[in-house]
């Protein structure tokens, strides 16, 4: 009988693992609350409709011959080699036994326990987050347009705050700015002058993981685009209307997107596995969880002991592929995992992008074309590629849709 | 100074009026909680993803030189020629004065005060309804697939009930059946045999407004497609799990879509205007509201005195065009409105449609092509046409997306 692998998660690490695992050798069961893979690098583009939501997802059930259960795993019973799942929708509780467990549950947005974030800020991690942002952005414009609104209130509705100067925060600010330049100025001409985008970053630079020059270039481009940068500043708390800053100032805001990085899920926190300082499950170089024989962890939720890899899609993908090969080859001692960096890309608005690779460091429109081509290549299905190209053409020809529903 | 027209609504009647009204002669303000026009004839196709949501809407702000306020109108102050609006999102209250008022607010789904409908049934009138249905349908399949589920419970999740055998109910049942045949059988093969679609209709025929033969043909096609028809039956009440029928039976259901027709909005009910037996505002043949000089009503919310027109998109559109011309011509006595029926079309699944026009009564695949061509022609923008064609091709090539978010 085939050995049974349970995979927790449907992100980059899990998806690549599932695409590569040899189902003639293993029975594979996937458990995740999300029934699709999401191509997160293009998620910021969906918040304003440059790309549509369904263009960057792929149902897990499209992978042949695996079993998928849409449910949360709430507990890992290491002693008995089983997991316990509770489906939040139906309340169904069930257990699944495994021979091997692959934990690839990723992380959740870190609120740093800042008061009000969970209640009033929007995140940008799942498609449902992007949809909330898209709805809220249009609502802000519609509200600001109402005749009964004071000037002060109107300006508040049109003050968009982004917390976090990493790739997610920067790309969202860039997309929002494109939306305002390309669409809002046409559709809401009377109020477009009152729009303000503010980016709050606790350090003194944006995109800190990028080359120094590219980081500086981004700050210059943002300043030219009238994105207000509040550097060396952080948010201490917020309520429904006001953001309180570390420098004592307050901001009356219409929308706050919180993109300050991630932290462990409850499952990982309470797993009983040894975690590193970042709260990631410690594994060896073959992704075997410390002090465990048949449990593996890959992607953002895992950290190889004494090795520090960035928590990116690229790393997660390569780990998924590596681990699948390791399984397919019978779990025999082999070469340790080695991350091959393909470099980093980021979109910074106005048809400009950054590339930071070993061969090429570039900016501007040419790099924007590279950015689009690279992600197009990386999309996981022909359908995704066709849809994303179509969306880009559609946005170019017809603009972004401001309908709200 | 130009006279000011306020238009309430963004449906077929209002949209056509707005496209035709001469803005060199009038100042035009539109008030509606919905900031887009929705092409409702294709709404059932969006519930399972044959067509995407944004492919059949057009932002009202795309119409040049009109002012749009996204808000509810809560009161019409006839004596002082003004309306009172309360924006539900911001709580803003404002008043707008008018020289002419055009009421085109449509209707809302009629629950017939059946207990449980408001709480547990889904409607199919707006895009947000279609989105709820699409999410719920996939949830039903994911829930039914869970390992901890009893056979009884699984069958309940997979029992889809449609209440109402008019065009909306029939087309939704047809689309759902297509989805099951084309996609579910591939993606959820183990449970697809347990799926059941039940259509409940209080009369003894489906599509009662269509030619008798076409109505009978539809019933035969549905029976062949394993859609269970419960004729001469109505729903007396429902709770979270059970539907209670007029014949004493009960149905354990997973999803109920309620499509039994429409009734007046609160605004119309409390407008103080004289209403006809169907609760519609009584107008003369020029759509002037009875006992009023400068207030007009068109579309589903209006009824010409002693004349009975169907509450369809076709009628509403022609009324919108007529009234705009009437305004453009200076409101002078002219020919009365006359409805020119272009016939009726309905999709009944499996690439089959019905056509009931004066020249042609047809069924089957050829009529399906006619159905698609006709609606493609009727879509209100080039963008919509391109998107809908693209969606049809996409569904044909790649199937419907079962991702849920």
Q: CA-CA distance, B325 to B18, in Å (whole number)?
A: 11
Q: How far is CA A87 from each of CA A126, B145, B230, rounded to the nearest angstrom?
A: 19, 11, 33
Q: Burial-class residue B360 by CB neighbours within 10 Å (0-12, 13-18, 19+).
A: exposed
**Tens of pLDDT along B178-200?**
999 999 999 999 999 999 999 99
Q: pLDDT value at position B350?
A: 95
User: Six-digit token pair at A55?
Assistant: 């263009």
A117-261+343-398: CATH topology is FAD/NAD(P)-binding domain (3.50.50)
Q: Which residues of B touch A93 (CB under 8 A)?
A: 148
pLDDT per position as a tens digit, B63-84? 999 999 999 999 999 999 999 9
Whether the CB-CB separation of B154 and B194 falls below 8 Å is answered with yes
* Nearest one of A262, A260, A285, A290 to A275, comparing CA atoms: A290
As for the ipTM of the complex, it is: 0.94
What CA–CA distance (Å, rounded) separates A104 from A7? 7
Q: What is the pLDDT of residue A47?
A: 98
| β-strand pairing of A57-59 with A36-38 | antiparallel
3-class SS of residue A226: coil
Please report the beta strands in B316-402, taking only residues with DSSP state E, as ranges in sequence order. Answer: 344-349, 352-356, 361-363
Q: What is the pLDDT of residues B88-147, one digit of tens each?
A: 788 889 999 999 999 999 999 999 999 999 999 999 999 999 999 999 999 999 999 999
CB proximity B188 to A under 8 Å: yes
A&B contacts, CB < 8 Å: 132
DSSP string for residues in A12-74:
HHHHHHHHHS-TTTEEEEEEES--EEE-GGGHHHHTTTSS-GGGGEEEGGGSTT-EEEESEEE
Q: Are A304 and A293 in contact (CB under 8 A)?
A: no
Residues of chain A neighbouring B138 (CB-CB closer than 8 A): 35
Task: With both helix axes pointing from N to C terminus, report the angle between B382-398 and A382-398 in degrees, rounded to the nearest 10.
Answer: 180
Q: Which residue has 């020629």 as its token pair?
A: B81
**Which residues from chain B sit within 8 angstroms of residue A146, using beta carbons?**
69-71, 87, 90, 92, 94
Q: Where are the alpha helices (DSSP H) in B111-260?
A: 117-120, 127-145, 151-157, 167-179, 185-187, 212-224
For A8, A195, B78, B266, B268, the CA distances from B274, given in Å and listed in that order, are 62, 45, 13, 14, 10
| pLDDT at site B368 | 97
CB contact under 8 A, A394 and B404: no
pLDDT of B126: 97
Dump pLDDT digits (tens) for A98-114.
999 999 999 999 999 99
Please state which CATH number belongs to domain B3-33+71-107+264-328. 3.50.50.60
**Pairing mode of beta strands A72-77, A36-38:** unpaired
Report how far residue A52's alpha carbon sits from residue B381's, in angstroms, rounded to the nearest whole number: 19
Give CA–CA dist A200/B275, Å, rounded: 56
| Residues A87, B148: C-beta atoms closer than 8 Å | yes
DSSP state at residue A60: G
Q: Does B158 touch chain A (CB under 8 A)?
A: no
pLDDT (0 to 100) of residue A219: 97
Q: Name the closest residue on chain A to residue B127, using Cα atoms.
A: A405
Which pLDDT score is estimated for A268?
98
Contacts of A70 in chain B (CB under 8 A): 142-143, 145-146, 404
| CB-based burial label for B204 (10 Å; 0-12, 13-18, 19+) | exposed
* pLDDT tens-digit map of A188-237: 999 999 999 999 999 999 999 999 999 999 999 999 998 999 999 999 99
Same fold yes or no, A3-33+71-107+264-328 and A117-261+343-398: yes
CA angle A154, A159, A162 (to 5 degrees): 160
pLDDT tens digits, residue range A137-196?
999 999 999 998 999 999 999 999 999 999 999 999 999 999 999 999 999 999 999 999
Q: Where in chain B are the domains?
A: 3-33+71-107+264-328, 117-261+343-398
A70 touches chain B (CB under 8 A): yes
């Amino acid at each position: 009988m085939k050995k049974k692998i349970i995979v927790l998660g449907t992100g980059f690490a899990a998806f690549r693992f599932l695409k590569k695992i040899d189902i003639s050798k293993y029975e594979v069961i996937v458990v995740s609350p999300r029934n699709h893979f999401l191509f997160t690098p293009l998620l910021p583009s969906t918040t304003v409709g440059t790309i549509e939501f369904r263009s960057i997802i792929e149902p897990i059930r499209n992978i042949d011959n695996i079993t998928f259960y849409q449910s949360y795993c709430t507990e890992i019973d290491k002693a008995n080699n089983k997991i316990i799942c509770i489906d939040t929708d139906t309340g169904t509780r069930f257990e699944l036994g495994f021979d091997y467990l692959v934990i690839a549950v990723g992380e959740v947005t870190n609120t740093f326990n800042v008061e009000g974030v969970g209640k009033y800020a929007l995140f940008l991690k799942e498609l449902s987050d992007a949809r909330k942002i898209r709805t809220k952005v249009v609502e802000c414009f519609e509200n600001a347009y109402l005749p009964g609104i004071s000037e002060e209130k109107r300006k508040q509705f049109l003050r968009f705050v982004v917390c976090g100067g990493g790739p997610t925060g920067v790309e969202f600010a860039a997309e929002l700015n494109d939306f305002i330049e390309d669409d809002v100025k046409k559709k809401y001409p009377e109020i477009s002058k009152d729009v303000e985008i503010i980016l709050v970053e606790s350090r003194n630079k944006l995109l800190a993981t990028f080359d120094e020059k590219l980081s500086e270039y981004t700050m210059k481009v943002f300043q030219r685009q009238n994105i207000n940068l509040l550097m060396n500043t952080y948010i201490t708390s917020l309520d429904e209307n006001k953001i309180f800053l570390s420098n004592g100032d307050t901001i009356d805001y219409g929308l706050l997107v919180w993109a300050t990085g991630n932290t462990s899920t409850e499952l990982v926190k309470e797993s009983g596995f040894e975690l590193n300082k970042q709260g990631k499950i410690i594994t060896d170089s073959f992704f075997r969880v410390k002090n465990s024989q048949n449990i593996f962890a890959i992607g953002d939720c895992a950290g190889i002991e004494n090795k520090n890899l960035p928590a990116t899609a690229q790393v997660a993908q390569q780990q998924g592929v590596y681990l699948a090969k390791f399984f397919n080859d019978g779990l025999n001692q082999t070469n340790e995992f080695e991350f091959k960096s393909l470099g980093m890309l980021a979109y910074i608005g106005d048809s400009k992008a950054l590339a930071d690779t070993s061969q090429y460091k570039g900016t501007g429109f040419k790099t924007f074309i590279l950015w689009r081509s690279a992600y197009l290549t990386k999309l996981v299905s022909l359908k995704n590629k066709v849809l994303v190209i179509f969306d880009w053409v559609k946005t170019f020809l017809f603009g972004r849709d401001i309908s709200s529903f």
